[in-house]
Structure 1
Amino acid sequence: MSETDLTISELRRRFAEKSLSPLEYWLALEKHIDRWEPTICALYAFDRDAARRQAKASTDRWWRGETLGLLDGIPVTLKELIATKGQPVPLGTRATELKPATEDAPVAARLREDGAVIFAKTTCPDYGMLSSGLSSFHHLTRNPWDVTQNPGGSSAGASAAAAAGYGPLHIGTDIGGSVRLPAGWTGIFGFKPSHGRIPVDPYYVGRCAGPMTRTVDDAALAMATLSRPDWRDGTSLPPNDLDWTSLPVGVEGLTIGLMLDAGCGLAVEDEILAAVEQAAFRFEQAGAKIVPVQPVLSRSMLDGLDAFWRSRFWGDIETLDEERRKSILPYIYSWALGAAGISGVEAVRGFNQTIEMRKSCGRLFSEVDAVLSPTNPIVSYPADWASPTNDPARPFEHICFTVPWNMSEQPAASINCGFSKSGMPIGLQIVGPRFDDLSVLGLSKAFETWTGGVTSWPQPPIS
């Protein structure tokens, strides 16, 4: 194993025994990133000098035995939408006027408190409104498993960086699947916690932040830092005493729903169905009761959400001058224009469909302890497509397995459960009851233990 493949726990052990320092690790990781980055373009605001200073300061703290927290010296990236003081937040689009952020967002603040080495932001599409690595501001982000293919999004750069081994921890955001979808398409572990578990600013209906890692343990360990409350998020959950380092991994006696039909959207490809069914069989072998369950999403719910999101987004960009509006990625601008004819009453009716999703999810979880489903309905799609349909009139056909759990505020994760004949990763989604984040992490850890996880990751191009 290369030093650049070490987990957070392994790094902490090496730092403590002084067989590797945070600065030595960072310098090795920097070279690894340099080999990959020209090809996959995962980063924005990559600051080597700042990273070296942070790593040197952490090295000094480890030497003195005065570390700040669990993530002291651990390199981490933040999705570009997560503000860091002094850096602009382009929102993935050329339409944004670049102004330095005046303060760290909650996630960035928690990481700095614990001494993490924040070395870059990661790319996202315009306004985070695509499941794609395509942006009018950033270079095209590609999937390390096959650079002709898309990493998904909107946490595109975070997923590509994790799969390519840019350190053990990357933070994305998720309002309809933007952590889990790209995690599925890049073979990593992506965790969307219960709403409010990780404070975000600005917060919004369904919007969460979550860790994107190669292992379940790395994501769980990061939660101890990321889940500290912040007053700026009005939905921030109270302080918790959850033991993020000791996950429950037993499944015997659980009733787990198997959802193979999302209710609408793109049909699930056969290779994905087979991989998810095989994953469910592993849970059954371990003592869980697997029961088929019906979809929680309907066409009217998805169309209502589309109308609501279009209206909200049109309100955000309506005041931009014509030149700035025209600089938005055409796919997204075309989608937003559809809101011009939506009335306020229709927009509210659309919002009401998020409540219907919540009710539907709650009804299902009165009968089951957890749910398994595909994360993504298709194996992959071209790198330069704006979405899996590449059609702004059908923008959300791929989020039907993921978006209901944002609206119901339940924890959900994507973990690799196999590979397609073309060599692309396949994601299994695991969903748990509201606030029971540890159960989702525990089920994910159990599955990772049974399968051994991904053991062979993409290698950088030969220079």
Structure 2
Amino acid sequence: MSTQSSSHREPAADLADWSGSDLLDGFARKQVSPVEVAKAVIARIDAYEPRLQALYAYDPEAALADAKASEERWMRGEARPLDGIPTTIKENIATKGTPVPLGTAARALVPEEEDSPPAARLREDGVVIMAKTTMPDYGMLSSGLSSFHPLARNPWDLSKNPGGSSAGAGAAAAAGYGPFHIGTDIGGSIRLPAGWCGVFGLKPSFGRIPIDPAYYGRVAGPMTRTVRDAALMMRTLSRPDVRDAMSLPAHDLPWLDLDIDVKGLRIGVMMEAGIGMPLDPEIRACIERAVEVFEEAGAEIEQIPPFVTRDMLNGLDVFWRQRAWMDIGALSEEQRALVLPYILSWAEGGKALSGAEVYNGMNQMIVMRNAAIAATHRFDFVLSPVAPVPAYQAELASPIHDPEEPFEHIGYTVAFNMSDQPSASVNAGFTNSGLPIGLQITGRRFDDMGVLRLSQAWETMCPFKRPWPRL
């Protein structure tokens, strides 16, 4: 079965819900203007944000000024590739003039001197930056809980968590705060909120999008309502930047060529993570239905045994506790008292670790990397749940809410950070109570195009779609 990504459909009635692709077409045809669109998104934010609390450094006046400049470029015939598209950027991705608190009240609010690579690329191509989006302390929770930001909530159910650490980005995308959003991911921080908020989130191959600061496993990636909008963002975000010495060489990839023939693809199915929380029965049934759709389209399906072990997850925990304590332990006693208690308790577990324990933890991440490659290299793609449970209570730091068991919910996602593989979350359906369920699609190393294409195929085939939430 070959899926086509170019079929025409009418844009949404409200300009705040238009896709980036539809906006570019509307701007080019002079059907709509960037100023009209910015005003529609501002109206959506003003209506929803008091309850959603997804944004930081929201500046509607600056956004309108940028939209006016974009409108003038369109009128002069000098439009840039993404000119006029409303965009949010995760708080920890630096933008010039805005402090980066990293989600914690313990950091001084010092304005950044320059845009980080993802923000610089987007601004160069003409997006209208509406706001930054919220995150938990130091980005170390799959939650919107923060000692600095107000508590972010899930637009599908305001009593639930949007996930994290790209918490505000997931909520903003689902709520229609414009079409483009960008998050970061080192263990699931794009895919988990994308799954729990019912949007598309791509964790690209390590190094595909330059980022600063760069460190092992950390990536930035798009969070959007459609796969095509993510592809539009990737065309811009993947341009090189010398500040990231770990980035991949520049490649001129056909980002908007999203057609793929599902028939004959070898697809592995990882229904069990091997570690952590048991898989919720509703999520299992939903992912099994998605697998059946791929099989009916002609894909060759094979089950993959679980490969993440307790030693791997414990090693990851040890290493990241120590890394967190390097930051938090350097604070004054008064500053440490401002850190979210859950994060402080977790990080304190790293202060007495020996060098050998930390090295062993780091080595377990390498063991996890090798295990992921060994388990998946025979397949074109791997399908799995994104998370073992649906969105949980907004006030909790994690589904278990215990700093001694912090990572029991990331068994499906984290290994593909360690292995550098591109991996996405795309909505697969909903629980009986109406909460979104994420399908994870993982590709071979550096096959970002393949993951986008198979995600587009699923977006086209998925029989379980629902209208976007209204608050």
Do Structure 1 and Structure 2 share a fold, with TM-score over 0.5?
yes
Partner-residue secondary structure (3-state), 1:339: coil
The yes-or-no answer on 1:60 pairing with 2:78 is no
SS at match of 1:136: coil
Aligned to 2:44: 32
- Which residue type is aligned with residue 286 of structure 2? A
Shift of 1:235: 1.3
Residue 10 (structure 1) aligned with residue 9 (structure 2): no
TM superposition shift of 1:453: 7.0
Q: Is the 8 A contact 1:296 1:404 kept in 2?
A: no
Structure 2: distance between partners of 1:151 and 1:23: 29
Aligned to 1:310: 321
Within 1, Cα distance between the matches of 2:463 and 2:20? 18
TM-score normalised to structure 1 length: 0.98
Deviation of residue 110 (structure 1)?
0.2
Match of 2:225?
214
Paired residue secondary structure (1:84): coil
Post-superposition shift, 1:454?
3.7
> Match for 1:242 among 253, 270, 293?
253
Partner in structure 1 of residue 342 of structure 2: 331
- C-alpha contact (below 8 Å) 2:87/2:178 kept by paired residues: yes
Q: Determine the C-alpha separation between the residues in 2 that align with 1:305 and 1:277.
A: 29
Q: How does 1:64-83 map to 2 (within 5 A)?
A: 64-69=76-81, 71-83=82-94
Q: CA RMSD in A?
A: 0.9
- Is contact 1:187-1:454 (8 Å) kept? no
Amino acid of the structure 1 residue aligned with 2:241: D
Counterpart among 35, 45, 60 of residue 48 in structure 1 = 60
Give runs of aligned pairs for residues 157-306 of structure 1, distance below 5 A: 157-306=168-317
Match of 1:434 among 431, 445, 451: 445
Cα separation, 2, equivalents of 1:181 and 1:5: 22
Tell me the CA shift for residue 277 of structure 1.
Answer: 0.6
Q: Distance in 2 between matches of 1:139 and 1:454?
A: 30
Q: Contact 2:421/2:445 (CA < 8 Å) preserved in 1?
A: yes
Moved more, 374-383 or 37-46: 374-383
- Counterpart secondary structure, 2:201: strand
Residues 7-51 of structure 1: CA deviation (Å, up to 9, x unaligned)? 111101110111100011111111111100000100000011110
CA distance in 2, matches of 1:248, 1:358: 30
Q: Deviations over 1:174-209 (max 9, x none)?
A: 000000001110100010000000111001110000
Which residues of structure 1 form unaligned runs of 5+? none
Report if the CA contact (8 A) 2:377-2:444 is conserved. no
- Deviation string, structure 1 residues 331-365 (Cα, Å, up to 9, x no partner): 00000011122111110110001111111111123
Q: Which position in structure 1 is the counterpart of 2:372?
A: 361
**Other-structure match for 1:84:** 95
Moved segments of 4+, more than 2 Å: 452-455
The gaps in structure 2 that reach 5 residues or longer are 1-11
What is the alpha-carbon distance in structure 2 between the residues aligned to residue 117 and residue 3 of structure 1? 14
Once the two structures are TM-superposed, the CA of residue 296 in structure 1 deviates from its matched residue by 2.6
Alpha-carbon deviation of 1:366? 2.8
Using the alignment, how far apart are the partners of 2:304 and 2:430 within structure 1? Answer: 25
Pairs aligned (count): 459
Using the TM superposition, give the Cα deviation of residue 309 of structure 1 relative to its aligned residue in structure 2, in angstroms.
0.4
Please give the secondary structure, in 1, of the residue aligned with 2:301: strand
Identity of aligned residues (%): 59
**Structure 2 Cα separation of the partners of residues 373 and 393 of structure 1:** 26
Contact map agreement 2:268 2:376 (CA 8 A) in 1: no
